[in-house]
A = this chain, B = another copy of it.
Amino acid sequence: MSERPIYFDLPDAGPTRLSAGLGSLTVVGLGPGEAHWLTPAAQHALASASDLVGYGPYLDRIPDRPDCVKHGSDNRVELDRARHALGLAARGGKVAVVSGGDPGVFAMAAAVFEALEAGEPTWLALPITVEPGITAMLAAAAKAGAPLGGDFCAISLSDNLKPWEVITARLEAALAADFVISLYNPISKARPWQLGAALELAARHRPPETPVIFARAVGRRDEALRVLAMSEAVAAAETADMATLVMIGASSTRLIERPGQRPIVYTPRSVTKSPWATSQGRT
């Protein structure tokens, strides 16, 4: 990497010059649910693609077109899928790589750039764009109320790509600093205990009544929203699955009870006391 102090400075990103024979690649965020959260820009990218590349169930959400080929794949082969998409674009395809939620948040965008960096030098001439989407954390928060009202962080619990020690150190830091914490990829058959361990750690830092949200498949017909007290969340870890977003409240996150309606979960914008008093007292 060069050490130029200013890498680039664009008053307007402008149109990319197309090289002859090359296609293009867009990584498109579908949002977490049905089409009501698909942005017009993402819709347009899908409608103008010659090739759609992605995990099978995501491709199933997109209507078939005679002039568009769907290339479905398994969910675990992100780099293979990214290389395949780059190859299709290099051969002239107008390729859309589809991703659930937002492609930049624990999804396909970084995988595409990893494949680009390690791949064919000719791929570097491809115009590549990313279309943002509603990520699961925002959809889950909206459904629950406003739990992200204060400072927050997002951590993937998958230790396929980073050591578990890094995950726990980040959790410890976020808990001590009193962030609201969203946990992506909380649990899978191959990683059955990590969510429980993360929640046990959280329970040592947070008051027992702190709300913990289990938001499953938000925006889909089978969506389920469950809000537990921190003291009960560890025991409930095994009820989560790969479609669940888990959100651990800050020390100030609380409920507003309402007659005849479910409570609202929210984090006030203000911090009036030091969060470290709480944290230190419990560690």
Q: Which residues of A contact B (CB under 8 A)?
A: 1-13, 16-17, 19, 29, 31, 35-41, 44, 102-106, 109-114, 116-117, 124-125, 127-135, 138-139, 141-143, 145-156, 161-163, 165-166, 169-170, 172-174, 176-179, 208-209, 211, 223-229, 231-232, 254-272, 274-276
- How many whole Å from A87's CB to the nearest CB in chain B? 17
- Pick from B10, B39, B142, B261: contact of A130, CB under 8 Å: B142
Assembly CA distance A263 to B134 (angstroms): 25
Lowest 7 A-B CB distances belong to which pairs? A110-B149, A153-B153, A162-B271, A173-B177, A109-B146, A5-B232, A130-B142
A4 cross-chain contacts in B, Cβ below 8 A: 229
Contacts of A135 in B (CB 8 A): 138
Which single member of B10, B106, B149, B154 contacts A224 (CB below 8 Å)?
B10
The answer to whether B41 and A40 touch across the interface, beta carbons within 8 angstroms, is no
Q: Given the complex, which residues of B lie within 8 Å of A36, measured CB to CB? A: 39-41, 44
The 30 sampled A-B contact pairs (Cβ below 8 Å) are A1-B254, A3-B229, A6-B227, A7-B263, A8-B226, A8-B227, A16-B261, A17-B261, A35-B40, A36-B44, A109-B145, A110-B268, A111-B269, A114-B268, A114-B269, A116-B264, A124-B256, A125-B260, A132-B138, A132-B142, A133-B138, A134-B134, A150-B162, A151-B170, A162-B270, A162-B272, A165-B274, A170-B177, A172-B177, A173-B174
Bound form: Cα–Cα A268–B161 in Å:
10
| Interfacial chain B residues near A9, Cβ < 8 Å | 224, 226-227
- Residues in B with CB closer than 8 Å to A232 are 5-6
Question: What's the Cα separation between A200 and B116 when bound, in Å?
Answer: 33
Contact at A226–B134, with CB atoms within 8 Å?
A: no
Complex formed: what's the CA distance from A106 to B146 in Å?
10
Contact of A257 among B2, B31, B44, B114 (CB under 8 A): B2
Docked pose: A117 CA to B3 CA in angstroms: 51
Chain B residue nearest to A155 (CB atoms) is B151
Query: Among the listed B37, B110, B152, B226, which residue makes an inter-chain contact with A146, where contact means beta carbons less than 8 Å apart?
Result: B110
Q: Is the CB of A7 within 8 A of B113?
A: no
Residue of B with least CB distance to A210: B1
**What residue in chain B is nearest A265 (Cβ atoms)?**
B7
- In the complex, the answer to whether A105 meets B161 with C-beta atoms within 8 Å is no
Most buried by B among A129, A130, A143, A263: A130
Q: Which listed residue (B3, B146, B173) contacts A176, Cβ 8 A?
A: B173
Residues of B within 8 A of A117 (CB): 256
